[in-house]
Each structure stands twice: as structure tokens, then as C-alpha cells.
Amino acid sequence: MNQEQITKIETSVENLKSKTSKIYLIVQDTKGNAKASLAYIYNLGLTLKDNGFNPIMLHEKPDYTGVSSWLGEKYDELPHQSIEGENLQVTPDDFIVIPELFAFVMSQITKLPCGKIVLCQAYDNMLETLNPGETWSQFGFYKCITTSEEQKDQIQQIMKNVSFDILTPYISDNFKPSNLPAKTIISIHSRDQRDTVNLIKAFYLKYPQYRWVTLSDMRGLSEVEFAKKLSESFVSVWIDETSAYGTFPLESMKSNVPVIGLVPNLLPSWINEDNGIWVQNKTQIIDVIADHLQNWLEDNISEEFHEKIKSTVDTLPTKEDFNKQAVSLFEEYFSVRQKSFEDQLSKLQTIEE
């Protein structure tokens, strides 16, 4: 019996050394709709694959739509597997990475002997699918990856006995300033589409003299289309009170487009009074848009404002920074797990002798 265990553990050690251990990344099916949190997971998966790891994108049903239509065909290179209808074979040296929104899956895989990691991008979703009194650690999840120090501070007050690592998203290089003058387009992005619809209706009713200005809902676009339209805008509007990082305003800044934004509940570290037009009350946004539009038409937007935007962009992590940090994290996870198996192996070999 000991020899059989020794052989299995030796196999696990070898798999970890060679990076053939599987990293299952659970993904949501957005039915072809762009979502920053899903892009983040796919960027992580592609980074791991390009650096010799063995990631597998794990989705719930076989008829998974995928992300190639909006994020790019290169993501089709990643192996995909369905939970439903397939025999999921998880070995002790494998890892499962679960987004916080899929916490309901945790109870189903408690007994799996693999490494378990929570990927928490949205503090607001953390408890949504957990029952009252449930916590990650009771299901064997003692490690969490999140996107910022601010979010980490919030999560660790609730989730005890869990250690945290930070992997900050990067803004795609598709987002860049346009070489042409901005058009009379206002790009709007909100978590709840009703906020966008209501803002557009309210703006045109209160300021009918600006009906010739295009207020554009940014949903339903591929990343390339999204970036192009954003770069053509003279201002963007961001409404997302529960945002934990703020991808859209940073995409705007990287495109050299000023942001009018509702300050979220969890204040990101990159927000300051000089790099955007930040509003505390949602009802004030249409008036702020009108004021900014008038200033833009009169060429009253200071160059210093755009310099502050550029200064913020210069502090953001690059794709290379993201890749380096992601690889470093998973090399550490593999190393710790390998050491654990080697310790088990040493004890069993001692007994065998």
C-alpha cells in the first residue's frame, strides 16, 4: 500500500516539476457579450499557457459560446472543457481556480484533493452565492487572488483563514489615443444598463439643444470596436458603484479621453481629484456632462488636465508586468505544493525502509 502511495506522490511531484499539472480556470458563459472580469481570466489563462503551464478553461455546459468574437481568436488556443457531460478527472497535483461568483461550486468540490484558489475580482459578489455563515475556508479554499490592495483589505475582514495575493489587471494595447480630432460622441458604460438608458433619456430631455451630440451605449462591441469608438469620443461616462478596480475609466484614460465618473463605494487607489471629473451623486451626472460639453466646444479643457490623465496611465501595470506577476504567483503555488508532496514522500519512504 505504501509503495502505491509513493508512486502516486512521485507522479504528482514530477507533474508539478514539468508544469503538466492542470490549472482549471472556471469561466462564466456571457453568451458572446464582452465582460472585463472574463477577459481578465482569459488573459491569465493565456499567460500561463505561453509560459509552459497547463491551463484549462472550465465552463458549465457543452454549448459554451467562448470569447473569440469580442476578445480575439488567439484565446481559442486555450483548451476548454465542460463540467456537464464530461468526466472531469482532477488529480492531487492539479489546481482549480474559482471566481467568487461561483462560490456555490465550492461545496461540490470540497473533497477533491487538489489545490483550490478563489479569484475574487468583485467584493460585491463575494457573498452572493454563499449561504449565511459559509466561508471559503470551510470548503478548503485558503488562497485568494484579487486585483488590488483596497479590495484585499475589504475581503480579509470577512474571509478569515485565507491568504491573499494581488494580480492587478492590465489595460489592453488596443486602447490608445486617436490621431484624429475627437468627435461629438459621449461613450457611456454602466454595470446596470438601465443607468445608461435613463441617463441618455434624461440628458436629451433636460438639454434638447444638444440632441445633435451622440450618447453611445458601449455594450455589445468587440474589444477592437470598443477601443476605436472610445478613442473617437470627447468624453466618457462611468457609472458603477460596486466596481472594485475600474477598467473602463482606465481604458478611457489610456485613450486620452476624459472621464466623468460616479465615485464607487470602494475607492480605487488610482482615482484622484485631478485625473477625472468625479461625481458623488448620480443625479448630477447629466449637468456635469453638459458643463464639460460646453467647455469642450469652447476649447476650455486645459492641457494640464490631459497631463494628469497621462500621469495616471504611466503608473498602470503593463501586459509584461501582469505576465511576470501571474507566472511568479503560479510558480510559487507549484513550488509550495511540490514541497508538500516531497515531505509526504520522505515520510512514506522512511516508513517503507
If you ran DSSP here, which 8-state letter would residue 242 be given?
T
CA distance 241 to 261: 10
pLDDT of the residue at 294: 96
Backbone angles phi, psi at 62, to 5 degrees: -65, -30
CA torsion sign, 130 to 264 to 34 to 119?
Answer: negative
Question: Quick check: helix, strand or coil at residue 315?
Answer: coil
Q: For residues 57 and 307, what is the distance between their CA atoms, to the nearest angstrom?
A: 40
Note the pLDDT of residue 107. Answer: 86
Query: What is the reported pLDDT for 6?
Result: 85
146-165 residues labelled b (16+ CB within 10 A) or e (exposed): bbbebbbebbeeebeebebb
Any residues with CB less than 8 A from the CB of 176 and at least 6 apart, and which?
227, 231, 254, 255
Q: Which has the closest alpha carbon to 229: 189, 185, 199, 276?
A: 185
CA nearest neighbour of 339 among 115, 98, 91: 115
Q: Where are the beta strands (DSSP E) in 178-258?
A: 185-190, 214-217, 235-239
Query: How many residues make up the chain in this entry?
Result: 353
**Residue ranges matching CATH 3.40.50.2000 in the chain:** 2-170+319-352, 185-314
pTM to 2 decimal places: 0.94
Tell me if the domain spanning 2-170+319-352 has CATH number 3.40.1410.10. no
Q: Looking at residue 219, what is its pLDDT?
A: 92
Q: What is the DSSP letter of 339?
A: H
How far, in Å, are 84, 210, 303 from residue 294 at the CA level? Answer: 55, 10, 16
CATH architecture of 185-314: 3-Layer(aba) Sandwich (3.40)
Q: Considering all CA atoms of the chain, what is the largest pairwise distance in Å, rounded to the nearest integer? A: 89
Given this model, what pLDDT does residue 353 score? 57
One pLDDT digit (tens) per residue for the chain, 353 residues:
578 888 899 999 999 999 999 999 999 999 999 999 999 999 999 999 999 999 999 999 999 999 999 999 999 999 999 988 777 889 999 999 999 988 888 888 888 889 999 999 988 888 888 999 999 999 999 999 999 999 999 999 999 999 999 999 999 999 999 999 999 999 999 999 999 999 999 999 999 999 999 999 999 899 999 999 999 999 999 999 988 899 999 999 999 999 999 999 988 999 999 999 999 999 999 999 999 999 999 999 999 999 999 999 999 999 999 999 999 999 999 999 999 999 988 887 776 55
